[in-house]
Structure formats: C-alpha cells, structure tokens
Amino acid sequence: MDYSVNAYALLFKAISMIPNSHYALGLLFVVIVFFYNFLEFHFLEDLLSGFRGSPVTLTYNTCSEIYEGVVSKCRILHGRYM
C-alpha cells in the first residue's frame, strides 16, 4: 500500500472541507496587509496618533555646515508630517 498517496488524499479532503468563506477572509486579510504596508496607507497609525502626524526623522551630522545652514533653521523639518 502506498501511504504517500493516501496522506495526500486525506490532506486534500481536509482542505476541501474548509468553507470558502474562510478562504475569502484569509485572502481579504492578506490584501489589507499588502495595501497597508506596500502602499503606506497607514490609517490605523494616523487614527491612534489623533491625526497629528509623525515627527520628521533625519540622519545628519550635527557638526556639518549643511546642518548649521539649513536644517537647524528650517522649522518644517522640526515639525510633524502626515
């Protein structure tokens, strides 16, 4: 007797017994996660922060002339964005 064929038959029978609505809910969840991360549609994050936006994060050398001339004087870079 070939047990591997029986194991696959049992697996496919078990999969076929799962209702289609569960597959649809799983697909919907995957699509929502994709849109949330890939398209950067962060409604929940904005909702939890009260739609105030996020602080601007910059990587720079505080001793550089560019920082002294631009970044330190630009108020927009020290605020929040949304």
Alpha-carbon distances, residue 9 vs 6, 20, 23, 47, 58 (angstroms): 5, 19, 20, 47, 56
Please tell me whether residue 55 adopts helix, strand or coil conformation: strand
pLDDT per residue as tens, the chain (82 positions): 556 678 888 889 999 999 999 999 999 999 988 887 777 767 777 787 787 777 777 777 778 887 778 877 777 776 666 5
Return the sign of the alpha-carbon dihedral for residues 15, 16, 20, 21: negative
Q: For residues 69 and 63, give the distance between their C-alpha atoms in angstroms, rounded to a whole number.
A: 11
Supply φ then ψ for residue 31, to 5 degrees. -65, -40
Do 43 and 71 contact (CB within 8 A), yes or no? no
Does pTM top 0.85 for this prediction? no
